[in-house]
Structure 1
């Protein structure tokens, strides 16, 4: 009689206890369909199946079929899709793929009578991720942050404020993705096509610098900083936008100057001002 052997997980060293090689660097795409949960339940499966098909078709049209064919740790998220890829392709993902995805969605939404329109948020990131080739691959901080960026206030606000008949795609790039692929000049889009935002997520302890890109903007494409939960309030350690040190002699916003036999002003004073005039009497 055979006894079934239980395979125990492989023991690994605790974090920070010894040095180990980094996992390979991967680009990562995460996509979510706007207002998915608001659709009738009968339409959920159809949209879930359509999203990866849209990604595949748009990558193929953009000349990036190899990215789809060689994708790493792909997974459906119900209302979206996630996949890893060779990070050297990230400049082409930013452009022309995002614009091509916009074009494909426009065609689908115009001609798909009776089907719900699909508008997508896209998150792009770069970083080290374990790539074991099985269902557990691709898990790590980079992937977690990619999904947080996808759920962040600025990208949701930008897509919601755009015209649904024009803008089908809004993308958010991590700062590393932007610096590596856009600011460096490798992407065929000028940095002026991107808006810097503080990415925050409601109910989550998450705040990162990120960049919004909308391939075909419409409506009030406002500076999405306003949707970042005012994360850049109080810039400058001394209290107040613009920062800088308080004037000498300031106390909690009040400025006190001393001027013997007269008064002086040293510039614009915010708050109240107290001037003490001291008279010196000479004995004769």
Structure 2
């Protein structure tokens, strides 16, 4: 059966529905012994689902769109209505779930990079659902230099998750104040991927910074100030800290005050899978 491909710009057609996207992959996965690849691949979605449950997002857990394993991680789409709650408290909770697992289990530490994006994607119940530029960009963000460098620079004993948020999500959800994640906890970065034609503005969020990141002024979980009324946000929103210039050997420079003038600088040494 021949398949007719749509011709760009030949006619107008309905825009696919907007779907949010969440993806994670594991740091240093390719360095694991082959015998551990399968178990770790199965473990990562289990930890993600556990965090969804603990963040009171069981509805999202049961309503994932075009979920797929990537070998060293998982990706799935979801209704954008959940985006504020994925940014807070889910990312915060996922970091805690990873920390608890790493403390209690002998074996490879599970440290994840995460990306969050949104855009129009086909979702009609047909083969090919979820494929499109937003999904490609979600994976590019996940592989981008800033999020890899930040996770590499942090302590493996303390920092278990580094998240990169697309500019579209940040503008609509964080800057729009629909989430408990305070904008001062997000660091603007230029997201680029070595060897790929990809460059976008994005935002880093590290729930549990450590080492050089703390010296640079990124506040720790313990420094997050809870609101007076916690009924709608049981874990409390994040707040900001202050800091001075700090250089990190893996090619990251965090400069300025996180309250506004916070920038990233990287070099080409940062790259490669894992």
Name 2:266's counterpart in structure 1.
227
Q: TM-score under structure 2 normalisation?
A: 0.78
Residues paired across the two proteins, number: 221
Alpha-carbon contact 1:72-1:133 (below 8 Å) kept:
no
Query: How far off is 1:136 after superposition?
Result: 1.9
Q: Are 2:160 and 1:121 equivalent residues in the alignment?
A: no
Instruction: Describe the SS at the equivalent of 1:225.
Output: strand
1:24 corresponds in structure 2 to: 17
| Alpha-carbon offset, residue 219 of structure 1 | 1.3
- 1:149 paired with 2:141, answer yes
Name the CA distance, whole Å, in 1 between partners of 2:119 and 2:27: 26
Q: CA RMSD in A?
A: 1.2
Alignment of 1:1-284 (within 5 A): 7-9=1-3, 11-113=4-106, 115-221=107-213, 222-223=253-254, 225-227=264-266
Give ranges in structure 2 of 5+ residues lacking alignment. Answer: 214-252, 255-262, 269-274
Secondary structure of the corresponding residue to residue 172 of structure 1: strand
CA distance in 1, matches of 2:172, 2:131: 22
Q: Distance in 2 between matches of 1:57 and 1:228?
A: 36
Counterpart CA distance in 2 for 1:219 and 1:142 is: 33
Gaps of 5+ in 1: 1-6, 230-284
Superposed CA deviations along residues 212-253 of structure 1, whole A, max 9, x for unmatched, are 000111111252621276xxxxxxxxxxxxxxxxxxxxxxxx
Higher relative contact order (CA 8 A, sep 6+): 2
4+ runs of 1 displaced by more than 4 Å? Answer: none
CA contact 1:31–1:80 (8 Å) conserved in 2: yes
Q: Aligned to 2:10, what secondary structure does the other structure show? A: coil
Alpha-carbon displacement from aligned partner over 1:103-139 (angstroms, at most 9, x marks no partner): 10011111112x2110000000011001132452100
Distance 2:39 2:130 in 1: 26
User: SS at the partner of 2:152?
Assistant: helix
Question: What is the TM-score of this pair, normalised by structure 1?
Answer: 0.76
